[in-house]
Amino acid sequence: MTLAEYFALHRPVAKYTFGDRVIGKYQGVPFVGTCGGDVMVNETEGPMVTVFLDLPLKIKEVVHHTFIKVKYKDIKKLNALVA
């Protein structure tokens, strides 16, 4: 079995592509952003999406200026809501 065949069988299929517009909640705070990468971090956490934020998020005393990593259940495609 080649590496390509192994990863085709064991890698999760991405639901989002680079540049998809998404909305969601991160630790209870709503956000809007653009998808960066849709990857499997590890088998414990499962697949996650890197989202580049339109506006900074302040959660408690921590400010997230640029990006966050969220699970699939926490986001939705923005285009799907407009249609």
Domains, the chain: 3-82 (2.30.30)
Q: Mean pLDDT in runs of 10 for the chain (83 residues)?
A: 86 86 93 90 85 92 91 86 53
C-beta separation of 38 from 44 below 8 A? no
pLDDT given for residue 81 in this prediction: 55
> Which amino acid is residue 72, in one-letter code?
Y
pLDDT given for residue 82 in this prediction: 54
Q: Say if pTM beats, i.e. exceeds, 0.85.
A: no
C-beta separation of 45 from 69 below 8 A? no
pLDDT given for residue 80 in this prediction: 56
pLDDT given for residue 26 in this prediction: 93
pLDDT given for residue 64 in this prediction: 87
> Which amino acid is residue 71, in one-letter code?
K
The structure tokens 């998809």 sit at: 20
